[in-house]
């Protein structure tokens, strides 16, 4: 069959598309390399990334022009990147991303810098509020944080929540504890803040935070198991978090826990969420006379103060979390497993119990969250930072122009 030449217009379009893809990928790879190794010489970036020195120089200049990079010893707020042997580093003085994390009973708003560090945060209760009121308050809270942090400009806003969150449509499809259904979060928050808004599930948001700023950096595959009011999981391989159709992956709430006995709202017995959820821990703590059963951190505080019953309840829960982690390890075989659960985060005996349950061979792969004091504050912002590190030039170009 004779080859037919593509029409010139199509060739030109394809070249442009390929060029823009290449630019996006190179800028992303370079910014990630600076995040991980900075301050770092451009020659080292070229060696680490396999890009040509000329391409690295060109992209570093672009990234400096939009305010994401600077020369390491240059005065802050200098836009120039000229001298080839001077190392470059992230310019973490100009930009922040906003974060909103919607939990079952409270909302956390935060500002994170380019290194994923919490610059400012605040938390407020939202029990009984309509979704639109919760989001309106979050937007007001963000505006207040930005007022308190002059000189930092927001690049984007990330919103994270538990339950079923569809990243593509920016919607909380279903959050059983909040009673939210098909809430168009991206639309609402864009309208209220004027920012580019990205929305994702909190387990996926935190797997991205671990990959970019935490213990999973450099791991080829990572599983994040989130055990709070809700129980869910997220899995990433080679820097890609698996979403699946309509972002339904990771909903493990109703997987059966081996040996589970508690009835679940879904009508079955022994679902992970029924066994592990914070409501169950609260009920057990109340029944044992340890706390009033409202805040799981009270159980940790009681255990830390020497209450043996509180410590036992937390260790038992950590063991069950270990059993759940073992199930997922069997299926996914990740290089690293990160667990977010209060006992495991704050008590060595709970981490030991979890690792014991997972088994000696795989125990070293399991670690607690890298953000024990800031899980909620990091989750929202991580959704936006993931987008930034994938496509730094587009996101920063869409932000307001740099002050001169």
Q: Footprint of Zn ion on this chain (CB under 5 A)?
A: 254, 264, 266, 268, 271
Note the maximum CA span of the chain. Answer: 83
Residue 275 token pair: 């066994």
Q: Among residues 229 and 291, whose Cβ is nearest to Zn ion?
A: 229
Minimum Å gap between C-beta 163 and Zn ion is 14
Q: Which residues contact 360 (CB under 8 A, 6 or more apart)?
A: none
For 279-311, the DSSP string reads: HHHHHHHHHTTSS-SS-HHHHHHHHHTT-HHHH
Taking the C-alpha atoms of residue 338 and residue 142, their distance in angstroms, rounded to an integer, is 29
Minimum Å gap between C-beta 254 and Zn ion is 4
Minimum Å gap between C-beta 273 and Zn ion is 6
Minimum Å gap between C-beta 180 and Zn ion is 19
Q: Among residues 271 and 351, whose Cβ is nearest to Zn ion?
A: 271
Q: Among residues 236 and 264, whose Cβ is nearest to Zn ion?
A: 264
Q: Among residues 115 and 268, whose Cβ is nearest to Zn ion?
A: 268
Q: Among residues 83 and 268, whose Cβ is nearest to Zn ion?
A: 268
Task: Please give the radius of gyration of the chain, using alpha carbons only, rounded to the nearest integer.
Answer: 23
Residue 171 token pair: 């919607």
Minimum Å gap between C-beta 277 and Zn ion is 10
CB 380 within 8 A of CB 99: yes
Residue 299 token pair: 């159980």
Taking the C-alpha atoms of residue 395 and residue 379, their distance in angstroms, rounded to an integer, is 19
Minimum Å gap between C-beta 144 and Zn ion is 39
Minimum Å gap between C-beta 232 and Zn ion is 13
For 138-186, the DSSP string reads: HHHHHHHHHHHSTT-EEEEEEEEESSEEETTTTEEEEETTTTEEEE-HH
Taking the C-alpha atoms of residue 158 and residue 58, their distance in angstroms, rounded to an integer, is 29
Taking the C-alpha atoms of residue 124 and residue 108, their distance in angstroms, rounded to an integer, is 7
Q: Among residues 226 and 371, whose Cβ is nearest to Zn ion?
A: 226
Q: Among residues 263 and 308, whose Cβ is nearest to Zn ion?
A: 263
């Amino acid at each position: 069959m004779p080859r037919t030449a593509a029409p010139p217009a199509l060739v030109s379009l394809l070249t442009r598309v390929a060029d823009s893809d290449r630019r996006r990928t190179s800028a992303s790879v370079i910014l990630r390399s600076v995040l991980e190794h900075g301050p770092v010489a451009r020659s080292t970036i070229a060696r680490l990334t396999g890009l040509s020195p000329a391409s690295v120089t060109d992209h570093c200049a672009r990234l400096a022009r939009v305010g994401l990079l600077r020369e390491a010893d240059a005065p802050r707020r200098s836009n120039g990147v000229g001298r080839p042997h001077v190392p470059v580093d992230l310019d973490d003085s100009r930009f922040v991303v906003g974060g909103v994390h919607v939990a079952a009973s409270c909302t956390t708003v935060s500002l994170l810098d380019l290194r994923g560090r919490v610059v400012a945060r605040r938390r407020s209760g939202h029990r009984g509020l309509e979704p639109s009121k919760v989001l309106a308050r979050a937007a007001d809270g963000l505006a207040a944080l930005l007022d308190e942090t002059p000189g930092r400009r927001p690049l984007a806003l990330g919103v994270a929540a538990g339950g079923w969150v569809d990243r593509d449509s920016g919607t909380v499809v279903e959050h059983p504890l909040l009673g939210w259904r098909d809430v168009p979060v991206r639309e609402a928050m864009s309208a209220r803040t004027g920012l580019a808004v990205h929305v994702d599930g909190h387990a996926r948001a935190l797997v991205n935070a671990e990959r970019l700023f935490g213990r999973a950096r450099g791991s080829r595959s990572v599983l994040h198991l989130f055990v709070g009011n809700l129980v869910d999981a997220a899995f990433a391989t080679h820097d890609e978090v698996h979403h699946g159709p309509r972002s339904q992956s990771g909903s493990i709430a109703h997987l059966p826990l081996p040996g589970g006995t508690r009835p679940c709202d879904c009508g079955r017995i022994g679902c992970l969420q029924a066994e592990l959820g914070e409501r169950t821990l609260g009920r057990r703590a109340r029944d044992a006379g340890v706390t009033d059963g409202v805040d799981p951190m009270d159980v940790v505080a009681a255990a830390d103060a020497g209450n043996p019953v509180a410590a036992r309840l937390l260790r038992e829960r950590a063991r069950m979390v270990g059993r759940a982690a073992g199930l997922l390890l069997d299926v996914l075989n990740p290089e690293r497993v990160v667990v977010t659960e209060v006992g495991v985060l704050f008590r060595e005996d709970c981490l030991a119990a979890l690792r014991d349950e997972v088994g000696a061979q795989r125990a070293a792969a399991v670690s607690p969250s890298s953000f024990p004091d800031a899980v909620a504050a990091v989750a929202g912002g991580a959704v936006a930072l993931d987008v930034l590190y994938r496509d730094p030039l587009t996101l920063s170009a869409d932000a307001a122009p740099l002050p001169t």
